[in-house]
Amino acid sequence: MSQLRSTLEFLVYDWLQAENLTSRDRYADHSRETFDAVMDTCERIAREKYAPFNRTVDTQEPTFDGEKVSQPQCTHDARKAFADSGMLSAAQPYEKGGMQLPYVVEAAANSFFGCASISIGSNLLTVGNANLLRVHGTPMQQQVFADNEFNGRWAGTMALSEPQAGSSLSDILTRAEPDGADFDSDALGARYRLKGNKMWISSGDHELTENIVHLVLAKIPGPDGKLIAGVKGISLFIVPKKLVDTDGNLTGERNDVALAGLNHKLGWRGTTNTLLNFGEGKYPVRGGAGAIGYLVGKPHEGLKCMFHMMNEARIGIGMAATMLGLAGYYASLEYAKNRPQGRPTTEGGKDAASAQVAIIEHTDVKRMLLAQKAYCEGALALNMYCARLVDEGRTGAAEEAVRSKLLLEVLTPIAKSWPSENCLEANSLAIQIHGGYGYTRDFPVEQYWRDNRLNMIHEGTHGIQAADLLGRKVRMQDGAGLQLLAQTMQATIKKAAARPELAQYAHDLNQALQDVSAATQAAWLTGNPQEALANAVPYMQAFGHTVLAWVWLDVACKVLEQDASQALAANAGRINAISYFYRYELPKITAWLNVVNARDMTCAQMPVEAF
Amino acid sequence: MSQLRSTLEFLVYDWLQAENLTSRDRYADHSRETFDAVMDTCERIAREKYAPFNRTVDTQEPTFDGEKVSQPQCTHDARKAFADSGMLSAAQPYEKGGMQLPYVVEAAANSFFGCASISIGSNLLTVGNANLLRVHGTPMQQQVFADNEFNGRWAGTMALSEPQAGSSLSDILTRAEPDGADFDSDALGARYRLKGNKMWISSGDHELTENIVHLVLAKIPGPDGKLIAGVKGISLFIVPKKLVDTDGNLTGERNDVALAGLNHKLGWRGTTNTLLNFGEGKYPVRGGAGAIGYLVGKPHEGLKCMFHMMNEARIGIGMAATMLGLAGYYASLEYAKNRPQGRPTTEGGKDAASAQVAIIEHTDVKRMLLAQKAYCEGALALNMYCARLVDEGRTGAAEEAVRSKLLLEVLTPIAKSWPSENCLEANSLAIQIHGGYGYTRDFPVEQYWRDNRLNMIHEGTHGIQAADLLGRKVRMQDGAGLQLLAQTMQATIKKAAARPELAQYAHDLNQALQDVSAATQAAWLTGNPQEALANAVPYMQAFGHTVLAWVWLDVACKVLEQDASQALAANAGRINAISYFYRYELPKITAWLNVVNARDMTCAQMPVEAF
């Protein structure tokens, strides 16, 4: 069994008790065997159709000849294998052709793809798009658009950013105006004409599927013809690349969505990233000006609808960062076991005449491996925990469902940001272990590092996540989310305190939790957001390390419950990883929280001309 | 004046008082004007011949057709402009055609090239090579080889590593055997035949110069024909690519040094990096087997000779990392000033109807800029300080020269490692400020980040620097080096303590110095190198942060002495940068030193099978 598989099984089955979900109606037909079968399939497809081509998609970037995008054959093959596996509709109900799979199992199974080649596929975007329509679309929109995304015929995108408005969605300029007098009576939804440019659209154009379903944010002008300022004016539209009828057949009409250009990226090159022009007139359609789009939900509630997709996407990014981190860990572990170099340090120094050892015998190499393990397996545990919360929110008993949703809200910025930062650092350590070889393109680790650098940027930058955490998540409902997280951590602390091997860590976590709580108070003491949020990123870093310390401690409780002697090497490794995390990492929070507590304004007050 | 120029002038003239050097005989003909003229020339060449082509050398990697290496024309032009400027022999005496320039001015002037395009040239290697020959070569070797490197005809390399021996030089297998009975009577030096492979040789082959002078480490077999184990068996040889006579004319004979392949790297692509075969028979020469090489210095003392070059190279790497960091800082500063996005946070939240502001107005962007400034200008100050120590070591009064050399010895691992780690992080922040644009190849910052990743690897990895620092430098001469550094820091602390604005920082630095000293003791308490060195890298990180805090404090003293009101924006910026460093960075040392003090063996004791 692969190391990733066994780690996932420990986390999902042993730690998170995923089999218990089969006692719920929705998952009643499932069992450990059906879960394992899905994992088997995904692991096989990832091994056969993804991993061998990870470098191919890096070196053979997508190209655009003015009409069509070209990508290597392996990208088409990987897309087909994924769609054929049924994973696009894994979570959908049986009557929709789905598997009714719990999200935690779906996420675990999908992780094989992320580890094998993060950028060759962008299927999670399609699933997220269709899931959004499942919640906010009309029955007809669901049938025509969502169903054809889930069944693999079409792909989906989310089109939010514009060249002049990246993180600042209130400034988007794309306009949507009613398309004729009968605009409100189209069976596919109120019909509008859209004009504007969308930037950073992943999979915004390609030839992998028959059609592409864009979910586009745009503003409907007010009676005065002006766009409403701020996010309140934003509405959401389905804008298909090619127009379709109510049976989901292509009508043969190309919609006026034109690829203006491909972005040439540092990494993540298997996925196109695009600038799209909507309604610029390259493909005039049905005698009018503008791209045809169908309203989703109510006017001016577009951002609320889109957030449904963004939260899912943020957890997906956390998983992507984690899998790139683990891919680098496995690669550098393999290298370190097989590369002879140097001799062990002994009390008498080094004996030049003795045989060389594998570099994994050197303490500093072990340190770099253990750091990667602690970061990446910890991040995986956190993300699996969040996935489990999604299931609880969907199928748990009423009160538990509410609690799970609240806890997930608080944890989402950490699930996205923490792996993006720390698993990137893990990839850097993987390069370092390889020495000069790691700096060459003959080994995979430099690509993991490049690919991973995207994750602190897309789906809300690090700064946006931090502002969300400290500005909103820990304060919402009078701090109920933070309180719930604290209670949940306390339960772990109590369990761990009873175990002599973990008592010190339980004590440390309790202290860290108090420190984070105190810093939250201190940040908001003056009630001035300028002061409170001046150090939102250091706050998030400390918060994240504390969350990870908690996750590791909870994992360690399970390890000792299973195997107190740690006779199993994997369990001994987990106990070492938690030791590493508590001794080398958790103490870092003091430095981060110092500036939060002081509401340090050094950065805020730096005059622009003094840089 | 460019920002880099004014920062250099402040550091070199105001802070380090470089003009005082003109009171020494060697520099008596120099003045501020002659120094400035050199800076002018380098700044201009860097602007005209380097900066415009930095992306060109990234996208047009060197290629090899089996006989010759091709590089873009701009690489040839940059090399020619540099050689024509006389900078190759800037430090050489007048009678050798040099400028007798102090090293601190040479290093400052060279920094323009690093900032404009780090990889288009590799002239510092040539200078380092020739400098080594100046110290260890015979008069004839100096005249034939060093002079022709200094005058720009030929280029130089250092060939240490082998495919199976990277950091572990004791395991090199390249053999050198006397070439015939008359081997010892060659005017160019004792003549040997070399056979072996050398890996990671920068500028190991190219067509930029008429000839290439390789300095090669190899082992002379003992009487039993076996190589001596360990570093003691290593000797140093000049192995020219093309053979030359005693007048420095090419004889028309190609030496048996063959390019086996170019390494394809993550970055730093303007410089070839090569695997070279010595004496494999591709270019048989003078009827014998093996590449012809001339012994430098005494047999078996090769590594000692080479260390002369390596120390210089290590400071050069620190400067390279620093200049890449500054290049990213300047690029992201420019971007942040010009990119409108979002609105300021006010006490009442955000006003969607107000105009967007440049992103430099956002506190988190300021934080990322100030971090870059604190890292990169701090690193520049440290490296300039080290360069000044080189001058002091060369031309200072006897006792002062000895002290300067000792201090430089202790600081070298920090001058190399600290910028490599922290200016790389600065480059990541530069990407982050650019958002999605920073992840594209349309902006320069992603290349700086890729280029900079090399610096923690070459010229001794991070782990090697840490072992050198904690294993050797702070212990040598009964800790005299560390003691000298502490005294030097104490002088700064005393100066700063008298200034109310700096008194707190003086106190903090004093504490940090005590903490580092105590950790040094604690690490070696048991005298067991396995325990002492188990956390050598965290020790080096803490040591480095303390050194940088000291450098910044000393810089701040100069700022206040000059301009107590900080009316000058640049000086206000420096005071903010020191505030940032002491509040956000220096407190991190506690976490690093914890594990050093505890001689934490978590990593060392991790069983291999538990990873």
Cα distance between residue B538 and residue B595, in whole Å: 8
Last residue of a domain, one of A300, A333, A366: A300
B373 and B484 both lie in a single domain: no
Shortest CA gap B505–chain A (Å): 14
Q: Which residues of B are catalytic?
A: 459
For residue A537, list chain B residues with Cβ-Cβ distance below 8 A.
Answer: 364, 367
Q: Burial code of A453-479, b = ≥16 C-beta within 10 A, e = fewer?
A: bbbbbbbbbbbbbbbbbbbebbbeeeb
DSSP string, B476-505: HHHHHHHHHHHHHHHHHHHHHHTSTTTHHH
Looking at residues A424-445, what average pLDDT do you find? Answer: 98
Residues 365-384 of B with CB under 8 A from A: 365-367, 369-370, 373
- Does residue A471 sit within a domain? no
Q: State whether residue A428 sits within 8 Å of chain B by CB.
A: yes
Cα distance between residue A216 and residue A523, in whole Å: 36
* Helix, strand, coil % over all residues of chain A, rounded to 5: 60, 15, 25
Cα distance between residue A582 and residue A588, in whole Å: 10
Among chain B residues, CA nearest to A442: B264
Cα distance between residue B551 and residue B582, in whole Å: 12
Residues 431-460 of A with CB under 8 A from B: 431-432, 435-436, 438-442, 446, 449-450, 453-454, 456-458
Rounded to 5 degrees, what angle do the CA atoms B264, B265, B266 make? 140
Q: Between A and B, how many CB-CB pairs are < 8 A? A: 270
- Does residue B350 sit within a domain? no
Whether A598 sits inside 8 A of B583 (CB atoms) is yes
Q: State whether residue B510 sits within 8 Å of chain A by CB.
A: no
Q: What is the 3-state secondary structure (H, E, C) of A417-447?
A: HHHHHHHHHHHHHHHHHHHHHHHECCCCHHH
Last residue of a domain, one of A73, A88, A121: A121
Cα distance between residue A587 and residue B524, in whole Å: 23
Q: State whether residue B160 sits within 8 Å of chain A by CB.
A: no
Residue B464 CA from chain centroid, whole number = 15
Cα distance between residue B299 and residue B237, in whole Å: 10
A336 and A360 both lie in a single domain: yes
Scan for tokens 């005809």, then name that residue: B153
Among chain B residues, CA nearest to A536: B364
Q: For each successive 10 residues of chain B (611 residues), what is the average pLDDT?
A: 95 98 97 98 98 98 97 98 97 95 97 98 94 96 98 96 87 96 98 98 98 97 90 94 98 98 98 98 97 97 84 90 98 97 72 84 97 98 96 95 97 98 98 98 98 96 97 96 98 98 98 98 97 98 98 98 90 97 98 98 97 98
Q: How many CB atoms lie within 10 A of CB A356?
A: 17
Q: How far is CA B1 from CA A387, B4, B44, in A?
A: 55, 8, 12
- Does residue B148 sit within a domain? no
Predicted confidence at residue A16, as pLDDT, reads: 98
Cα distance between residue A601 and residue A596, in whole Å: 10
B393 and B492 both lie in a single domain: no
Last residue of a domain, one of A427, A460, A493: A460
Whether B367 sits inside 8 A of A341 (CB atoms) is no
Predicted confidence at residue A347, as pLDDT, reads: 61
B422 and B535 both lie in a single domain: no
A143 and A241 both lie in a single domain: yes
**Helical (H) or strand (E) element with A215:** strand A211-219
pLDDT band at A350, cuts 50/70/90?
low
**Helical (H) or strand (E) element with B211:** strand B211-219
Q: Which residues pair with A583 in a beta bridge?
A: none
What are A111-144's pLDDT values in tens digits?
999 999 999 999 999 999 999 999 999 999 999 9
Q: State whether residue A533 sits within 8 Å of chain B by CB.
A: yes
Whether B346 sits inside 8 A of A598 (CB atoms) is no
- B90: which DSSP letter? T
pLDDT at residue A552 greater than cutoff 70 = yes
Q: Which of A461, A569, A605 sits opposite B610 (nearest CB)?
A: A569
pLDDT at residue A73 greater than cutoff 80 = yes
Number of domains observed in the structure of chain A: 4
Q: State whether residue A504 sits within 8 Å of chain B by CB.
A: no
Q: State whether residue A462 sits within 8 Å of chain B by CB.
A: yes
Closest CA relative to residue B216, chosen from B305, B152, B98: B305
What are A215-237's pLDDT values in tens digits?
999 999 999 999 988 888 899 99
A69 in the Ramachandran plot: left (φ > 0), alpha (ψ -120 to 50) or beta?
Answer: beta
Among chain B residues, CA nearest to A445: B266
Q: Which two tokens stand for residue A447?
A: 């690509």
Whether A579 sits inside 8 A of B573 (CB atoms) is no
**Helical (H) or strand (E) element with B532:** helix B529-532
Among chain B residues, CA nearest to A333: B611
- Does residue B130 sit within a domain? no
* E strands, B245-350, in order: 250-254, 257-262, 273-278, 291-296
For residue B536, list chain A residues with Cβ-Cβ distance below 8 A.
Answer: 364
B421 and B433 both lie in a single domain: yes
Q: Which of B449, B457, B462 sits opposite A439 (nearest CB)?
A: B457
Predicted confidence at residue A354, as pLDDT, reads: 80
Cα distance between residue B195 and residue B187, in whole Å: 22
Backbone angles phi, psi at B529, to 5 degrees: -60, -30
Among chain A residues, CA nearest to B228: A353
Residues 51-70 of B with CB under 8 A from A: none
- Does residue B526 sit within a domain? yes
Rounded to 5 degrees, what angle do the CA atoms A377, A378, A380 make? 60
- Any idea of the CA torsion for B139, B143, B144, B150, to the nearest 10 degrees? 130
Q: Burial code of B50-63, b = ≥16 C-beta within 10 A, e = fewer?
A: bbebbebbbebebe
| Residues B199, B201, B206, B210, CA torsion sign | negative
B184 and B294 both lie in a single domain: yes
A309 and A455 both lie in a single domain: yes
Q: Classify residue B260 as exposed, middle or buried by CB count within 10 Å of its CB (0-12, 13-18, 19+).
A: middle
Cα distance between residue B214 and residue B297, in whole Å: 15
Closest CA relative to residue B228, chosen from B306, B288, B302: B302
- Does residue B135 sit within a domain? no
Shortest CA gap A454–chain B (Å): 7
Q: Chain A interface, mutation test: which of B160, B227, B330, B363, most A Cβ atoms within 10 Å?
A: B363
| Residues A370, A374, A375, A376, CA torsion sign | positive
Looking at residues A367-386, what average pLDDT do you find? Answer: 98
pLDDT at residue A489 greater than cutoff 70 = yes
B407 and B490 both lie in a single domain: no
Looking at residues A371-388, what average pLDDT do you find? Answer: 98
Q: Which of A341, A370, A528 sits opposite B168 (nearest CB)?
A: A341
DSSP string, B19-69: GGGGGSGGGTT--HHHHHHHHHHHHHHIIIIIGGGHHHHHHS--EE-SS-E
For residues B515 and B345, the answer to whether their CB atoms sit within 8 Å is no
Tell me, what CATH number does B27's domain have?
1.10.540.10
Residues 220-239 of B with CB under 8 A from A: 229-232
Shortest CA gap B464–chain A (Å): 10
Cα distance between residue A509 and residue A486, in whole Å: 11
Tell me, what CATH number does A401's domain have?
1.20.140.10
For residue A432, list chain B residues with Cβ-Cβ distance below 8 A.
Answer: 456-457, 461-463
B214 and B286 both lie in a single domain: yes
Predicted confidence at residue B352, as pLDDT, reads: 66
Q: How far is CA A297 from CA A179, A236, B483, in A?
A: 17, 7, 71
For residue A426, list chain B residues with Cβ-Cβ distance below 8 A.
Answer: none
For residues A48 and A596, the answer to whether their CB atoms sit within 8 Å is no
Backbone angles phi, psi at B540, to 5 degrees: -65, -35
- B358: which DSSP letter? B
Predicted confidence at residue A352, as pLDDT, reads: 66
Backbone angles phi, psi at B365, to 5 degrees: -70, -45
Q: Which two tokens stand for residue A547?
A: 């969350």
Q: Which of B171, B370, B466 sits opposite A606 (nearest CB)?
A: B370
For residues A526 and A599, the answer to whether their CB atoms sit within 8 Å is yes
Among chain A residues, CA nearest to B607: A573
pLDDT at residue A351 greater than cutoff 70 = no
Predicted confidence at residue B351, as pLDDT, reads: 66
Q: What is the 3-state secondary structure (H, E, C) of A45-109?
A: HHHHHHHHHHHHHHHCCCEECCCCEECCHHHHHHHHHHHHCCHHHCCCCHHHCCCCCCHHHHHHH
What type of residue is A29? D
Q: State whether residue B44 sits within 8 Å of chain A by CB.
A: no
Q: Which two tokens stand for residue B505?
A: 């920082």
Q: State whether residue A355 sits within 8 Å of chain B by CB.
A: no
- List, in order, residues 6 or more apart from B331 with CB less than 8 Å away: B430, B443, B444, B445, B448
Task: Describe the crossing of helices B302-338 and B123-136 by its angle, rounded to 10 degrees.
Answer: 150
**A535: domain range?**
476-604
Shortest CA gap B24–chain A (Å): 36
Q: How many CB atoms lie within 10 A of CB B293?
A: 30
Cα distance between residue B306 and residue B234, in whole Å: 10
Scan for tokens 């010009």, then name that residue: B338
pLDDT at residue A349 greater than cutoff 80 = no
- A355: which DSSP letter? P
Closest CA relative to residue A328, chosen from A417, A444, A439, A437: A444
Q: How many CB atoms lie within 10 A of CB B346?
A: 12
* E strands, A440-572, in order: none
- Does residue A127 sit within a domain? no
pLDDT band at A247, cuts 50/70/90?
very high
Q: What is the pTM of this model?
A: 0.98
Q: State whether residue A93 sits within 8 Å of chain B by CB.
A: no
Predicted confidence at residue B165, as pLDDT, reads: 84
For residue A265, list chain B residues with Cβ-Cβ distance below 8 A.
Answer: 439-441
Cα distance between residue B466 and residue B534, in whole Å: 10
For residues B400 and A421, the answer to whether their CB atoms sit within 8 Å is no
Scan for tokens 């050097």, then name that residue: B21
For residue B446, list chain A residues with Cβ-Cβ distance below 8 A.
Answer: 266, 453
Predicted confidence at residue A312, as pLDDT, reads: 75
B448 and B503 both lie in a single domain: no
Q: State whether residue A425 sits within 8 Å of chain B by CB.
A: no
A294 and A321 both lie in a single domain: no
For residue A363, list chain B residues with Cβ-Cβ distance below 8 A.
Answer: 530, 533-534, 603-604
- Does residue A469 sit within a domain? no
Rounded to 5 degrees, what angle do the CA atoms A309, A310, A313 make? 90
Q: Which residues of A are catalytic?
A: 459
